[in-house]
Structure 1
Amino acid sequence: MTEPRWLDTFQQRDWRSYVEGSVRLADLLDRDLKAKHGLTMAEYEILVRLSEAPERRLRMAELADVASQSRSRLSHTVSRLECKGLVARNTCGADKRGVNAELTDDGFAFLSKAAVDHVATVRQFFIDVIDPEDLAAIGRAFTAIAEQVDKAR
């Protein structure tokens, strides 16, 4: 067997900073959305993805991919959003086997209000505390990470 490639002191420090910071930030964003709008981050992400899609509609399988959720988890999350009147499900036009999730007009209006608060929190705890050069580096780094993870799937 080959010897593990242990992290050096600086790599360990940076890795731990990433883990601690990302967990704390995700928790804060989730708590903030729940407190102000009764939404989880997963629900918010689905609403955002639907708002950006043509006709505010995506096939459930595609929505699961872009929202980084399993199909089973997505189905449960969309059910909660349906109960709130924010999302509707209907069959795909040409392919009756497929199911679309569609952002309702109420869902779009709700998201528009939630997005104002959410972006303020993102700015306060992420964007505005990072130098622009470092922010660009984070963007490049996580694009590379996402691509590497996608290759491993």
Structure 2
Amino acid sequence: MSEPRWLDATQQRDWRAYVDGSVRLTEIMDRDLKAKHGLSVSEYEILVRLSEAPERRLRMAELAANASQSRSRLSHTCSRLESKGLVRRDSCPSDKRGVIAVLTAEGFAALERAARDHVETVRNHFIDVIEPDDLEAIGRAFTAVLKKMTGGA
């Protein structure tokens, strides 16, 4: 068994800053969305993904992959959104086993309201505290991370 490739002090510092910062940022976004709009971050992300999809509808499997949720977790989250009237699920006409999530008009309106506050949270706690060059570097870095995780080039 080979020895682990331990992080040096600088790498460890930067890794911990990422972990701590991302966890706290997600907590703040979740708290604000729940307090102001009754939505969790994962519910908000589903509404966003559906709003960006053609005809505001996606197969559940594709939505799970896009929203970085397991199919089981997505099913529970969509059930909550259905109970709020924000999403509905339809059967897939081309595949009897498939299910399509559809953003309702009420869901789109809720997303429009939430997005105004959410963008301020993102700006106040992320965009506006990072230098433009550093923000660009974060974008490049996480594009590379996502490519690695999704098997991209």
How far, CA to CA, are the matches of 1:60 and 1:142 in structure 2? Answer: 25
Aligned to 1:4: 4
- What RMSD over aligned residues (CA atoms) do the two structures have, in Å? 1.2
Match of 1:19 in 2: 19
Q: Alignment partner of 1:90: what SS?
A: strand
For 2:74, the equivalent position in structure 1 comes to 74
Residue matched to 2:28:
28
1:133-148 mapped onto 2 (5 Å cutoff): 133-148=133-148
Q: Structure 1: which 5+ residue stretches go unaligned?
A: none
Task: Note the alpha carbon deviations across 1:19-58, whole angstroms, 9 max, x for none.
Answer: 1111110111111101111110000000000000000000
Distance 1:6 1:95 in 2: 48
**1:34 alignment partner AA:** K
| Runs of 4+ off more than 4 Å | none
2:56 matched to which residue of 1? Answer: 56
Matches within 5 A, 1:78-117: 78-117=78-117
Letter in 1 for 2:142: F
Number of residue pairs the alignment of both structures matches: 152
- Provide, for residues 66-113 of structure 1, a one-character-per-residue CA deviation record: whole Å limited to 9, x for no partner: 000000100000000000000010111222221100000010011000
Q: Secondary structure at the match of 2:93?
A: coil
Q: Once the 2 structures are TM-superposed, how far is the Cα of residue 134 of structure 1 from its aligned partner?
A: 0.5
For 1:97, what is the secondary structure of its paired residue? Answer: strand
Offset at residue 7 of structure 1 (A): 0.9
Inter-partner Cα distance in structure 2 for 1:2 and 1:94: 50
1:88 and 1:45 map into 2 onto residues whose CA distance is 16
Match for 2:10: what amino acid?
Answer: F
Give the TM-score normalised by the residue count of structure 1. Answer: 0.96
User: What SS class does the counterpart of residue 101 from structure 2 fall into?
Assistant: strand
Query: Which residue does the alignment assign to 1:126?
Result: 126
